[in-house]
């Protein structure tokens, strides 16, 4: 049912010189990709033991290192490699049958020619510094508008081709609007442009577009795929992430034309910059856009490792144009990137205090986080902090009168009337030394209503306990819901590595204060443990006393910034916890809980109150996940290891942070941080960064990139047909101070850009348009198709930034997957740009995925542009497009309400519709066919007035809220209904025109 592509290997036809031509074989373009694909699996990099000791990625190995010569330069017949390609014995023929790889005859011939020419090797095209190419000499100088045109013209002339003529002004205007802003020009803008007869009208338009919000939004929409931005975490629970302030950061940076090196650096390492500020810290959320899970029972470290890997792979995909994921598990078979290289990068991104699981029971933002206070909030924070400071001064030295709120030796525990509950079969046991409750790891002692503390509340808890062993981990006492399932929200006393650890937690580990005894807890003896906390939210305000003496402590965490309550916390509990390791074999025999007496002196009371107000205030400040290098991390976590087969559980040798060894080091000294990585990436000699970005900008504006495989500039990639152009523009970009906008401007004002799409000569000689001898046509991205329809219909609500919106989508799609209900917005929210559409990874907007939008689960640098019948259904029947057709129809009818004269009103309507949607006048045949359709529909609707009214009164609002009590629309008179409905059918037909949905 679907169209399939037909042309294949046309690239090869272009790259390979035509038969009879004398051009030498190009190793980088032709031979290396072939060797890499068919031979490197056994004779390439990354193999502990290459077959027959032969490595074909290294000329030294291939030509002379062995006892025999796999390749004898200049003599194919004497070369073992060549003879093996055609060996009569299938057992000896290469590639071996078992590889399921084959060589075509023309490929064998190519290798033969290459050997005959001396088997020259060369550096891979993208792994060396891009150099400015000599200015190509061309005949058609008058065509050239920009230096870049010389390269294009040179390429065309070398094949005896000519560029396409310049596109019609209206076509060009439409193209530049859509390429730069993702929106078509309005009719007003179109007419104004066509009427403008001063020189430089395109330049003026381009400058205006480049400075527009719409342009920034359009560039941002593309960056969302690269950065795998979504509004939910992904995986199965797929909870909201609230990351949109980062998306707005991207919009702002495009609006301000932030230099690309800065754009890159802030996203990778904005927290580490010497001049780091809120904006640059916000930018680092880029590294936290990966999916996260909270599925019950998941191994925390397994997913933490996944996240770090995702950061590495996204950085490589976005900035290096390399796919490095393979090297996570093994040395890369094709590219020279090794597993050590991979984990060297891993070490750079493994520098934050994060959990591998986000919280199921609370809505804590996974740490580390950045606070994004409003101005009012920021001022208030300062005020409240001053009040706390003043109260602290007054309270200093005051002795705190403690009040016992509970003290028990469990005598009547579990009995009726007792405030102590015994659960899971726990019971008081009498023995020689007295009475105690023996814990089995699943049972518990529970104190309902006791110990409900805020982090501003000083408290003390004294507990007599006996531990049977030096637990690696055991929950002794807590007031929390659970471990990772709630991020340990609350407070807790654990045995950790045999030591007592006291923690106050908002979200473990990144938002918590925790101290641990230096000495192990004595075993098999009764110990009186007392936890003391002063309400300061600081580790310094936490003490653990053992048998009446303060125990020496180490600080494990000291970053508690938010509430320790909420999230289904139950009661103060001893002995066990949901999905955690209990105090198995331990025993307790008494507990005392103390808080501040009600009659406490004024100053302490004031301090507690001041802290509580400040804490409540901070809890209301918006937070977002960002990067914050954590110097406090235990050393074990800071040391990255190679992970065998990429598995979290298979730690091998330790690795230092490093950039990949196969790329030039560029920096003096070691690479120790993400900031160093950013400096390396933006070094003017870096081989990849500028090439990748130039190609991205070219792809965005020209409809197709220079690099054939933007997701892979590695060894398997063919060099661009216009490699010299790419490299020259890369140098231009770097030397301009990474000025993306300046480069975009050059591109869209070039003669290359201005060509028409129709150019039969180019189409015949160069169907893939590698030589850019005409404008590329390509179906628009999903966002553009919807936004352009809204714009043409006058419905688009242009408002920059803010939380995501929920436009129409068919009901039930979320619910049937996860039980969550999608509540469509209304009014403006139904008609904002698609950039702002709420993006749920496990159920993305269907009308967008049908047009090839990815789910944004992983970094994607390019989208396919498939054509399927489902897309026709979207354009016909998605209520958003029905509304657009109807809105267009109403405008057309208003414009030409009467069809007096012989159908001149109808012609006017069709002209209006085609011009609105395609920015051009209809062709004669279009005009005829569409006016005929309009007439036929008019007749049909006159015969079925009910149908006319149904269509003419269609309401997106009602479609989005079928159950809501909607106001009845103003009834239309029959004549208006017929005219509107009939015209809407014409609009609907036109919505799918290639000139509407394709770049022209």
Cβ at position 378, least distance to other proteins in Å: 38
Strand partners, 437: 428, 588
Contact pick of 818, 823, 942, 969 for other proteins (by CB under 8 A): 818
| 363 part of the interface to other proteins, by CB under 8 A | no
Segment contacting other proteins by CB under 8 A, of 78-86, 118-126, 189-197, 836-844: 836-844
Cβ at position 926, least distance to other proteins in Å: 4
**Is 535 or 660 the residue whose CB approaches other proteins more closely?**
660
| 960 part of the interface to other proteins, by CB under 8 A | no
> Is the four-CA dihedral 827, 828, 833, 835 of positive or negative sign?
negative
Cβ at position 317, least distance to other proteins in Å: 8
Cβ at position 922, least distance to other proteins in Å: 8
Contact pick of 45, 46, 510, 879 for other proteins (by CB under 8 A): 879
User: For residues 570-629, which are near other proteins according to CB under 8 A?
Assistant: 576, 579-582, 584
Contact pick of 940, 957, 974, 976 for other proteins (by CB under 8 A): 940
Q: Tell me how far CA of residue 38 lies from CA of 134, 561, 970, in angstroms.
A: 35, 56, 69
Q: Are 465 and 586 in contact (CB under 8 A)?
A: yes
**Is 554 or 928 the residue whose CB approaches other proteins more closely?**
928
Contact pick of 21, 60, 399, 925 for other proteins (by CB under 8 A): 925
| Rounded distance between C-alpha atoms, residue 270 and residue 481, angstroms | 35
Helix H segments across 682-739? 689-702, 723-735
Count the residues of the shown chain that bind other proteins, applying the rule CB under 8 A: 126
Binding mask 92-121 for other proteins (x = CB under 8 A): --------x-x-x-----------------
Contact pick of 77, 191, 415, 442 for other proteins (by CB under 8 A): 442
| Rounded distance between C-alpha atoms, residue 498 and residue 513, angstroms | 19
Strands (E), 254-372: 369-371
493 Cβ contact list (under 8 Å, min separation 6): 461, 463, 476, 477, 478, 500, 501, 502, 529, 531
Token readout for 350 is 């493994």
| Rounded distance between C-alpha atoms, residue 84 and residue 88, angstroms | 9
Segment contacting other proteins by CB under 8 A, of 404-412, 459-467, 660-668, 951-959: 951-959
Helix H segments across 567-622? 602-619
| 127 part of the interface to other proteins, by CB under 8 A | no
Cβ at position 305, least distance to other proteins in Å: 12
244 Cβ contact list (under 8 Å, min separation 6): 231, 802, 803, 804
**Is 200 or 810 the residue whose CB approaches other proteins more closely?**
810
**Is 66 or 929 the residue whose CB approaches other proteins more closely?**
929
Q: State the helix-helix crossing angle for 339-349 and 674-681, rounded to 10 degrees.
A: 120
654 Cβ contact list (under 8 Å, min separation 6): 639, 640, 641
Nearest to 556 by CA among 569, 546, 542: 542
Neighbouring C-beta atoms of residue 545, cutoff 10 Å: 15
| 812 part of the interface to other proteins, by CB under 8 A | yes
Cβ at position 474, least distance to other proteins in Å: 10
Burial of 995 (0-12, 13-18, 19+ CB in 10 A): buried
What are the two backbone dihedrals, phi and then psi, of residue 353, each rounded to the nearest 5 degrees? -90, 85
Binding mask 331-350 for other proteins (x = CB under 8 A): --xxx---------------
**Is 291 or 618 the residue whose CB approaches other proteins more closely?**
291
Contact pick of 109, 137, 299, 429 for other proteins (by CB under 8 A): 299
Contact pick of 586, 657, 714, 773 for other proteins (by CB under 8 A): 714
**Is 368 or 922 the residue whose CB approaches other proteins more closely?**
922
| DSSP string for residues in 819-844 | SPPP----GGGGGB-GGGB---TTS-
| 776 part of the interface to other proteins, by CB under 8 A | yes
| 427 part of the interface to other proteins, by CB under 8 A | no
Cβ at position 148, least distance to other proteins in Å: 21
| 969 part of the interface to other proteins, by CB under 8 A | no
Q: Are 133 and 728 in contact (CB under 8 A)?
A: yes
Strand partners, 466: 587
Segment contacting other proteins by CB under 8 A, of 8-16, 146-154, 663-671, 729-737: 8-16
| 11 part of the interface to other proteins, by CB under 8 A | yes
| Rounded distance between C-alpha atoms, residue 984 and residue 255, angstroms | 37
Segment contacting other proteins by CB under 8 A, of 204-212, 245-253, 281-289, 979-987: 979-987
| 974 part of the interface to other proteins, by CB under 8 A | no
Token readout for 525 is 């003896």
- Per residue, the 3-state secondary structure of 218-240, as one string, reads HHHHHHHHHCCCCCECCCCCCCE
| Rounded distance between C-alpha atoms, residue 567 and residue 406, angstroms | 24
User: For residues 853-872, which are near other proteins according to CB under 8 A?
Assistant: 854-855, 857-858, 860, 864-872
3-state secondary structure of 43: helix
Binding mask 668-707 for other proteins (x = CB under 8 A): ------------------------------------x---
| 740 part of the interface to other proteins, by CB under 8 A | no
User: For residues 633-662, which are near other proteins according to CB under 8 A?
Assistant: 649
| 711 part of the interface to other proteins, by CB under 8 A | yes
Cβ at position 404, least distance to other proteins in Å: 32
Cβ at position 105, least distance to other proteins in Å: 10
User: For residues 482-521, which are near other proteins according to CB under 8 A?
Assistant: 483-484
**Is 804 or 845 the residue whose CB approaches other proteins more closely?**
845
| 943 part of the interface to other proteins, by CB under 8 A | no
**What's the CA angle centered on 710, arms 709 and 712, to 5 degrees?**
70
3-state secondary structure of 142: helix
Contact pick of 930, 979, 983, 996 for other proteins (by CB under 8 A): 930
What's the residue count for the chain?
1000
| 13 part of the interface to other proteins, by CB under 8 A | no
Cβ at position 443, least distance to other proteins in Å: 9
Cβ at position 8, least distance to other proteins in Å: 5
Buried b or exposed e, range 876-909, using 16+ CB within 10 angstroms:
eebbbbbbbbbbbbbbbbeebeebeeeeebbbbb
What are the two backbone dihedrals, phi and then psi, of residue 720, each rounded to the nearest 5 degrees? -65, 150
| 994 part of the interface to other proteins, by CB under 8 A | yes
Cβ at position 958, least distance to other proteins in Å: 11
User: For residues 40-79, which are near other proteins according to CB under 8 A?
Assistant: none
Binding mask 215-254 for other proteins (x = CB under 8 A): -------------------xxxxx----------------
Q: Are 595 and 465 in contact (CB under 8 A)?
A: no
Cβ at position 332, least distance to other proteins in Å: 9
Contact pick of 947, 957, 972, 976 for other proteins (by CB under 8 A): 947
| DSSP string for residues in 454-475 | -TTS-EEEEEEEE-SS--SEEE
| 86 part of the interface to other proteins, by CB under 8 A | no
| 159 part of the interface to other proteins, by CB under 8 A | no
Residue found under tokens 């990639």: 717
Cβ at position 421, least distance to other proteins in Å: 18
Cβ at position 820, least distance to other proteins in Å: 8
């Amino acid at each position: 049912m679907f169209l399939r592509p037909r042309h294949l290997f046309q690239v090869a036809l272009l790259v390979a010189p035509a038969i009879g031509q004398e051009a030498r074989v190009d190793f980088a373009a032709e031979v290396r990709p072939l060797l890499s694909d068919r031979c490197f699996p056994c004779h390439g990099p990354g193999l502990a033991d290459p077959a027959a000791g032969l490595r074909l990625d290294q000329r030294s190995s291939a030509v002379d290192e062995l006892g025999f010569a796999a390749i004898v330069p200049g003599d194919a017949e004497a070369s073992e490699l060549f003879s093996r390609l055609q060996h009569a014995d299938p057992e000896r023929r290469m590639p071996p049958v078992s590889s399921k790889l084959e060589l075509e005859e023309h490929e064998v011939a190519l290798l033969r020619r290459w050997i005959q020419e001396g088997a020259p090797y060369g550096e891979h095209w993208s792994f060396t510094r891009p150099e400015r190419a000599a200015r190509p000499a061309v005949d058609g100088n008058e065509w050239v508008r920009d230096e870049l045109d010389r390269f294009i013209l040179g390429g065309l002339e070398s094949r005896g081709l000519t560029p396409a003529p310049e596109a019609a002004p209206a076509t060009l205007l439409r193209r530049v609007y859509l390429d730069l802003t993702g929106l078509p020009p309005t009719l007003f803008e179109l007419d104004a442009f066509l009427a403008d007869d001063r020189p430089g009208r395109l330049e003026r338009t381009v400058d205006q577009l480049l400075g527009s919000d719409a342009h920034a939004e359009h560039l941002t929409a593309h960056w969302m795929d690269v950065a795998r931005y979504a509004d939910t975490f992904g995986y199965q629970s797929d909870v909201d992430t609230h990351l949109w302030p980062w998306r707005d950061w991207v919009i702002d940076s495009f609006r301000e034309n932030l230099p690309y090196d800065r754009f890159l650096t802030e996203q990778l390492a904005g927290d580490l910059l010497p001049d780091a500020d809120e904006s640059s810290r916000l930018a680092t959320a880029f590294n936290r856009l990966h999916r996260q899970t909270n599925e019950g029972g998941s191994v925390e470290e397994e997913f933490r490792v996944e996240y770090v890997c995702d950061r590495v792979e996204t950085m490589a995909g976005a900035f290096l144009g390399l796919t490095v994921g393979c090297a996570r598990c093994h040395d890369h078979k094709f590219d020279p990137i090794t597993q050590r290289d991979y984990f060297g990068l891993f070490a750079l991104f493994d520098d934050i205090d994060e959990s591998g699981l986000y919280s199921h029971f609370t809505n804590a933002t996974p740490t580390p986080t950045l606070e994004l206070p409003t101005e009012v909030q920021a001022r208030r924070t300062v005020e409240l902090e001053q009040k706390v400071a003043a109260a602290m001064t007054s309270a200093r030295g005051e002795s705190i009168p403690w009040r016992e709120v509970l003290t028990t030796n469990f005598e009547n525990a579990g009995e009726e009337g007792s405030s102590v509950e015994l659960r899971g079969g726990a019971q008081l046991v009498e023995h020689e030394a007295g009475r105690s409750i023996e814990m089995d790891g699943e049972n518990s002692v529970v104190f309902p209503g006791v110990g409900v503390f805020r982090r501003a509340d000083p408290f003390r808890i004294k507990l007599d306990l006996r531990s049977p062993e030096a637990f690696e981990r055991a929950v002794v006492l807590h007031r929390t819901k659970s471990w990772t399932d709630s991020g340990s929200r609350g407070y807790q006393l654990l045995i950790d590595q045999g030591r007592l650890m006291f923690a106050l937690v908002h979200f473990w580990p990144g938002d918590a204060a925790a101290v641990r005894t230096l000495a192990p807890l004595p075993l098999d003896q009764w110990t009186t443990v007392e936890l003391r906390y002063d309400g300061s939210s600081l580790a310094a305000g936490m003490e653990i006393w053992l048998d009446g003496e303060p125990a020496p402590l180490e600080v494990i965490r000291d970053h508690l910034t938010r509430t320790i309550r909420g999230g289904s916390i139950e009661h103060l509990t001893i002995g066990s916890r949901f999905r955690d390791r209990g105090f198995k074999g331990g025993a307790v025999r008494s507990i005392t809980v103390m808080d501040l007496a009600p009659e406490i002196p004024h100053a302490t009371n004031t301090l507690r109150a001041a802290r509580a107000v400040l804490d409540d205030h901070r809890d209301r400040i918006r937070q977002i996940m960002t990067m914050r290098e954590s110097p406090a991390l235990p050393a074990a976590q800071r040391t990255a290891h190679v992970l065998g087969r990429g598995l979290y559980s298979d730690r091998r040798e330790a690795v230092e942070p490093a950039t990949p060894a196969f790329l030039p080091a560029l920096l003096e000294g070691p690479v120790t941080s993400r900031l160093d990585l950013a400096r390396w990436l933006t070094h003017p000699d870096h081989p990849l960064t500028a090439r990748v970005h130039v190609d991205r900008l070219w792809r965005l504006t020209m409809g197709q990139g220079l690099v054939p495989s933007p997701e892979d500039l590695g060894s398997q990639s063919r060099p661009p047909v216009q490699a010299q152009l790419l490299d020259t523009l890369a140098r231009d970009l770097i030397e301009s101070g990474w000025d993306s906008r300046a480069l975009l401007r050059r591109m869209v004002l070039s003669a290359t850009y201005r060509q028409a799409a129709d150019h039969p000569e180019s189409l015949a000689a160069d169907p893939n348009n590698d030589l850019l001898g005409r404008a590329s046509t390509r179906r628009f991205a999903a966002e553009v198709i919807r936004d352009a329809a809204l714009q043409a219909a006058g419905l688009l609500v242009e408002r920059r930034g803010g939380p995501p919106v929920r436009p129409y989508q068919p009901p039930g799609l979320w619910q049937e997957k996860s039980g969550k209900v999608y509540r469509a917005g209304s009014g403006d929210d139904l008609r904002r740009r698609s950039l702002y559409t709420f993006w749920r990874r496990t159920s993305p907007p269907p009308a967008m995925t049908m047009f090839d939008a990815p789910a944004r689960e992983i970094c994607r640098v390019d989208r396919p542009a498939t054509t399927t019948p489902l897309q026709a259904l979207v354009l016909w029947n998605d209520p958003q497009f029905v509304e657009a057709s109807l809105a267009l129809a109403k405008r057309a009818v208003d414009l030409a309400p009467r069809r007096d004269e012989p159908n001149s009103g109808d012609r006017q309507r069709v002209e209006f519709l085609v011009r609105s949607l395609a920015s051009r006048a209809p062709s004669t045949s279009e005009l005829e066919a569409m006016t005929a359709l309009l007439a036929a529909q008019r007749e049909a609707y006159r015969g079925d007035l009910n149908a006319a009214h149904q269509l003419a009164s269609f309401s997106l609002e009602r479609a989005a809220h079928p159950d809501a009590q909607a106001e009845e629309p103003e009834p239309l008179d029959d004549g208006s209904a017929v005219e509107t409905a009939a015209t809407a059918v014409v609009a609907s037909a036109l919505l799918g025109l290639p000139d509407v949905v394709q770049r022209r």
